[in-house]
Amino acid sequence: MRVVRAFGAALLALGWTVTPAAADATPSPAADDAVPARAGTSFRTAAEIGQGRTATADASAGDYLYWSFPADAGERPTVRATVRLPDAHAAETWQVDVYDGLRRRQACQYGTQTRTAAADAASLELACTLRTVRAWSEPWANDPLPGTYYVRLTAVGLPTSDLGLPVRAEVRVAAREIGGATAVDGALAEPLVPGAAVTSAATDEDAAVLSDVEPEDGWASGWWSDRWVWTAVGGALAALAGVGGYALTRGPGRPTGA
């Protein structure tokens, strides 16, 4: 019984140490992090945003708006976009698409990716939740992989009379940490970050530079997941079960001599 109680206390302590780490997986917005007030017009000039931030952009109906963000292994990113329309406009259909670092369009697991705004609507909202990012995948597969992701927001059904009307777009990216349930054996040598981003230099002129946005704690590359913790716990429980089974099934001890 002393062994069982000691092991139970160890498991309880382990639970207290694992839970806060899982809660800290989602980065919290920092007060000094700049949020872009513009959007790019192509993959190369996509404006960088971090997870948990909301980017805004003033544009014209008919423009292609691009942003980029990082996503690491074990995360399930969700992109939410809000388009604020002018007072007078016809019915418009907008769509948000997400591409990975290889510019492969990623399917939305759920969410309203395309929506039509009525002629009197002041705004519309779109959402796209991707599949969980994998640390490694077969070359022929289209699985989400760690690296830069691109968001493209545009009107796909736009009357000619609405071309050029002013609109305001807001995009927010957040990710949920899924954990070891989707962990795989393998990792990329480097995250897929081939894109470029728009930054403002001291002269307030836009310049395209190599993407440097990355997760708050750096790229994990799939080397760690909570599967390691529960594998160790499972091994300890198996060992304890073996000791307990032996204690219950062994025969009576050999009698000692007089």
Residues 176-194: pLDDT tens digits? 888 666 666 667 767 888 7
3-class DSSP state of 51:
coil
CA dist., res. 228 & res. 146, Å (int): 20
- Looking at per-residue pLDDT, the higher value among 98 and 241 belongs to 98
Is residue 47 within 8 A of residue 40, CB to CB? The reply is yes
* pLDDT of 35 strictly over 90: no
* pLDDT of 139 strictly over 70: yes
* pLDDT of 168 strictly over 50: yes
Mean pLDDT, range 163-171, rounded to an integer: 95
- 209-230 confidence digits (pLDDT tens): 445 667 766 676 445 556 566 5
Mean pLDDT, range 40-47, rounded to an integer: 92
CA dist., res. 226 & res. 229, Å (int): 5
pTM of the model: 0.69
- Looking at per-residue pLDDT, the higher value among 209 and 247 belongs to 247
* pLDDT of 203 strictly over 50: no
CATH fold of the domain at 34-231:
Jelly Rolls (2.60.120)
Max avg pLDDT among 12-21, 85-94, 214-223: 85-94
Phi and psi dihedrals of 192, rounded to 5?
-80, 95
Per-residue burial over 85-103, b = 16 or more CB atoms within 10 Å of its CB, e = otherwise: beeebeebebbbbbbbbee
Max avg pLDDT among 26-30, 148-152, 245-249: 148-152
Percent of the chain with pLDDT over 70: 66
Instruction: Provide the pLDDT for residue 15.
Output: 45
Instruction: Provide the pLDDT for residue 244.
Output: 78
Model confidence at 62, pLDDT cuts 50, 70, 90, reads very high
Q: What is the mean pLDDT of the chain?
A: 77
* pLDDT of 42 strictly over 50: yes
Q: Of the given ranges (27-36, 109-118, 192-201, 228-237), which has the lowest mean pLDDT?
A: 27-36
What are the CA-CA distances from residue 140 to residues 185, 186, 246 (Å)? 17, 16, 50
Instruction: Provide the pLDDT for residue 211.
Output: 55
- Burial of 134 (C-beta count, 10 Å sphere; 0-12/13-18/19+): buried
Percent of the chain with pLDDT over 90: 41
